[in-house]
Structure 1
Amino acid sequence: MNVYYKMGIYLSLLFVTSILSEETKMAQASEALRRQLTDENPRTSLGSSLYPDDQKFSKDIDLETAETLLWKNNLLLIASRFQIDVKKAGILQAGLYANPNIAIDQSIFAEPTQRYFDTTRSGQSVIQVQQVFLLGGKIDKRVKVAELNAKISEQEFYDLTRALITKLRRTFYTIYFYKKAVVFYDQSIASIEKTVESSELAYKRRALLQAEHLRLKALLFFLKKEREDLAIKVYEKEAELKILLNDDAYRDARVEFAPKINEKQLDSIVPNNVKLEELVEIARENRPDLKKALQTLRYEEANLELQYANAIPDLSFGPVYNRGGTAFQNYWGVTAQLTVPLFDRNQGNIQAAEKAILVRKQELKNNILEVENEVAVAYQSARIKDALYKRFIDAYIKDYSSLSLDMIMSYEKKYITILEFADFFETYRSSVVEMLKLQTDRMEAIENVNYAVGKGIFIPKSENQTTPKSEE
């Protein structure tokens, strides 16, 4: 984007030449502008502060570092990890046996001895111990249901990760390109302000028409307003990024981000290199929400098995000791208790579980259909915006460069007025901003493909960069 900055400086300085009465100064300025278009100038730093407050400062950050901080510090991800631990604790609970039940029966008043709460051999005491035995494999089925519930929670975590990673990348690219636009506005405003000051003096000397002077002031006001609106958007996006990263190094409100991106790597992304059918297949294998829907179906199937097992009554079994309450002074026996499933055979819960399976099957089919169409839409959008960007990025800049030189020659020969230069600058400004917006939209469309597929297919990253992975 070096040409943008060169052309911005070039056109802004061109306005200064329009109010100079000396032919030599205008010729020198024109020659300097021609040199700017041909010389290689270093790119303006993106780390410059967007705000006039001297206390603000920028910090460099690349996408790989940002994603690492997201995985480490994001509060929503941390909370989701704890939620997985909660569900895994349910597996432990589901596998526990029931506690034994101990019952003690002690007589209040012993008639023969005329004693209260007589615990001696002359009194009556009964001790009974019972253990509940779950029949029908209830414990194993409960554990299976709890395990599937934990897997559902894991897929919710990966789905949340997918959303947050996509949001991070979109925000990162938006800040980068918005800041480039702000730099362009800053350069243009600085030059236009000098032009307006010079035109003010020229207007007082009656060397410049009032209409031309007001047009320049209106252009300056419009640029400042657009710049401030864009700066506010940058500030909002930076606040979103700070929340996502949750890192002490960037938490201070005075910190500004200076995203580091290799644009050549971005331009090397070609959505057409992958076929739609391949993306759909990858989405079926990697989308966490599809895996969650599948796990939910398995959960309902396991729950149906558990409900059938719950229809089987449990057995309570244990010893009993009775002293002084039977024909024998010390009586030992066993007790067994079993509920007869005469009326309640868990019919309602079984029927509800059967219907829930039908519901989950239809939801899974609908989710698959939604994923296929979501991938198709994201893929076509990325292809269109990528083609539009690459069709105009080179020829577009070259056309404006040659046109700018023609405008210089036309103005030097008095073929056009300063108002025509102002119209050209407005068109140029709009074109530069729209091109930056197209770059932002293109990367958002590419990230939409990654989100729809559930895997980082089109990502400019190093080999050791962490990407979200789903588990079966």
Structure 2
Amino acid sequence: MHISLRAALLAGALVFSGAAIRAEPISLSQALAKGTESSPRVTQAKAQADAAEARARQAGVSPNPELSIEVENFAGSGAFQGLRSTETTLAVSQRLELGGKRSARVEVARAERDFAFLSYKTALADLDRDIRLAHAELRADEDRAVLARDNTAAAEELARIAKVLVDAGREPPLRQLRAEAALAEARAEQARTLGELLSSRRLLATLIWSDDPELSATFTDESAPPNVPVELPSLNEQLAIAQKNAALARVRLARANAVPDVTASGGVRRFAEGRETALVAGVSIAMPFRDRNRGNIDAAQSESLAAESATMLARIEATRVRQDARILLGAAEVRYEALAGLGISQAEEALRLTRIGYNAGKFSLLELLDVQTALTTAKLNLIQARLDRAEALAALIRANAL
């Protein structure tokens, strides 16, 4: 299994053409739109928000009244034999919630609804960041695969020329061996970049819930988003605040649940003997001698304190993440601009001249390989710099999500 997979990767890399690398193109905006529309992560968060909304509606409903019928004094002995002395009572009872239970319950449900809605927004923001990162990584892996393919083609040409020169006696056999070793390294690198490219394609396809794993990321040059005012809480901070509000509401509900409810009832009683009727009424209330809900009250208060601390931490963390992301984005932009300047064009010109000199016998194979390696390193650094910029931009956009 492993041997066949390794062989397949190597064989695929050797025939990897530009058409294979540049598969079905998808822009960042298209990937974001498809992910928002199709991702199960978003569907799950939306369903949870809808469920919380339904619970908030249900929380304001009062208890239902209860209808009861009670039959007494039948099937006994003496005067109570049969149904002659039966008393039948039809009554309606209603539990009356005291202590503000209903309003406290509604407050908890609304706070949980707000938390669920913010969780839905958080899921969208997290998916947006993940898609941006996956799209940028796919673009970088495509560029690395193209570079590896070009390097393999160049190594094949060098190996061919080295063999010609060795056969003509212009180069020692060691030069041909070195060229063949460089070719083997280039093919191995091409196989590695192919594996990473296929993995990146599948990751993006999974995030956007696409049936087509053959995706190609088109280049997207986005500018940095504007600074978010300090007074505006980040999405993570809003989520922590909503959790704190829910915890405070649960404290109030726990205290309200400590107040016993009253159940009032009223009805009519019919006496079988004489067929008289009479009204009945009653009131019942629990005696809070043992259970005063102290454990739940203390637990809710502790959770409220924890939520307050979590809010403070979220505020501090949001400020740090925003500042770090903007600093990293600035550094990545400076590095990318420096690498994208004359460095690449000069390295390409140096390689062109060195190849001409090598073909003319003025430069050795080692010198040509050194120049080729320098150009490859410069291009890889440029690819990494662009990826670093995209990652920093994705982090900043997520940090600024409101």
After TM superposition, the score normalised by the length of structure 2 is 0.86
Tell me how far 1:305 sits from its aligned partner: 2.1
Identity, % of aligned positions: 19
Q: Does the CA contact (< 8 Å) of 1:156 and 1:289 recur in 2?
A: no
Shift of 1:137: 2.7
**Equivalent position to 1:80, from 45, 54, 71:** 45
CA change 1:207–1:407 in 2 (3 A) is closer
Q: Secondary structure at the match of 2:340?
A: helix
Q: Which moved more, 1:68-77 or 1:430-439?
A: 430-439
Which of 185, 196, 205 is the aligned partner of 1:242?
A: 205
Task: Give the one of 79, 83, 105 matched to 2:70.
Answer: 105
1: CA distance, partners of 2:59 / 2:224: 50
Alignment correspondent of 1:357: 304
- Structure 1 range deviating more: 384-393 or 140-149: 384-393
C-alpha displacement of 1:59:
1.4
> How far apart are 1:409 and its partner, in Å?
6.7
Pairs within 5 Å for 1:33-182:
48-50=19-21, 58-107=23-72, 108-111=74-77, 116=82, 118=83, 122-182=85-145
2:264 match:
317
Q: Does 1:373 align with 2:293?
A: no
RMSD: 2.7
Alpha-carbon distance in 1 for matches of 2:27, 2:148: 24
Tell me, in whole angstroms, the C-alpha distance in 2 between the residues paired with 1:84 and 1:392: 46
Separation (CA, whole Å) in 2 of partners of 1:436 and 1:224: 20
- For 1:293 and 1:163, the matched residues in 2 are separated by 16
Closer, same or farther in 2 for the Cα pair 1:412/1:47, shift >3 Å?
A: closer
Give the drift of 1:371. 1.5
- CA distance in 2 between counterparts of 1:408 and 1:222 reads 19
Partner of 1:209: 172
Give the corresponding residue for 1:259: 217
Matches of 2:118 and 2:26 in 1, distance apart?
A: 29
Q: Secondary structure at the match of 1:48?
A: helix
TM-score normalised by structure 1 residue count: 0.74
Q: Which residue number corresponds to residue 427 of structure 1?
A: 374
Q: Which residue of 1 aligns with 2:239?
A: 292
Secondary structure of the residue aligned to 2:347 is: helix
In the other structure, the counterpart of 1:192 is 155
Q: Offset at 1:316?
A: 0.7
Give distance in 2, aligned partners of 1:348 and 1:354. 10
Aligned residue for 1:336, secondary structure, equals: strand
Pairs within 5 Å for 1:453-468: 453-454=400-401
One-letter amino acid of the structure 2 residue matched with residue 97 of structure 1: S
Counterpart residue type for residue 418 of structure 1: L
Q: Answer with 295-304 or 106-115: which moved more.
A: 106-115
Deviation, structure 1 residue 202? 4.3
Counterparts of 1:279 and 1:363, CA distance in 2: 22
Judging changes above 3 Å, is the alpha-carbon distance between structure 1 residues 144 and 203 closer, same or farther for their aligned structure 2 residues? Answer: same
In structure 2, do the counterparts of structure 1 residues 239 and 351 end up closer, same or farther at CA, with 3 Å as the change threshold?
A: same
Shift of 1:159: 1.4
Looking at structure 2, the residues matched to 440 and 228 of structure 1 have their Cα atoms a distance apart, in angstroms, of 21
1:393 aligns with 2:351: no
Structure 1 window deviating more from structure 2 (398-407 vs 146-155): it is 398-407
The 1:197/1:409 distance shift into structure 2, 3 A limit, reads closer
1:337-377 Cα distance to aligned partner (Å, 9 max, x none): 12233454333333333332222211111111112122222
Distance 2:145 2:172 in 1: 31
Distance 2:43 2:387 in 1: 30
Check whether the contact 1:316–1:337 (CA below 8 A) recurs between aligned residues. yes
Deviation at 1:420, TM superposition (A): 0.8
- CA gap of 1:409–1:204, structure 2 versus 1, over 3 A, is closer
Deviations along 1:186-235, one digit per CA (max 9) or x if unpaired, are 22322432442343354345443211111111111111111211111111
Alignment gaps of 5+ in structure 1: 1-45, 51-56, 455-469
2:3 alignment counterpart: none
SS at match of 2:232: helix
Structure 2 CA distance for aligned equivalents of residues 409 and 216 of structure 1? 17
1:135-170 Cα shifts (integer Å, max 9, x gaps)? 233212211110110111111122122111111011
Query: 1:382 — aligned with what?
Result: 329
Q: CA deviation at 1:422?
A: 1.4
The whole-number CA distance in structure 2 between the counterparts of 1:172 and 1:286 is 28
1:413-472 CA distances to partner (integer Å, 9 max, x unpaired)? 754212211121122112212221221112112212222222xxxxxxxxxxxxxxx5xx
Amino acid paired to 1:241: L
1:393-416 Cα offsets, whole Å, 9 max, x none, are 112124324534553575477542
**One-letter code aligned to 2:65:** P
Partner letter of residue 165 of structure 1? Answer: D
Task: Using the TM superposition, name which of 413-422 and 427-436 deviates more.
Answer: 413-422
> Tell me, which stretches of 5 or more residues in structure 2 are unaligned?
1-16
**Matches of 1:311 and 1:112 in 2, distance apart?**
48
Matched-pair contact (CA < 8 Å) for 2:87–2:271: yes
Which residue does 2:398 correspond to in 1? 451
Q: Quick one: structure 1 residues 401 and 234, their matched pair in 2 at CA, closer, same or farther if it must change by over 3 Å?
A: closer
Q: Is the contact between residue 129 and residue 318 of structure 1 (CA under 8 Å) also seen in structure 2?
A: yes
Q: Distance in 1 between matches of 2:239 and 2:398?
A: 16
Cα deviation digits, residues 48-77 of structure 1 (max 9, x gap): 204xxxxxx921211111111111100111
Q: How does 1:341-352 map to 2 (within 5 A)?
A: 341-352=288-299
Number of equivalenced pairs: 385
- The 2-side partners of 1:392 and 1:131 are apart by 78
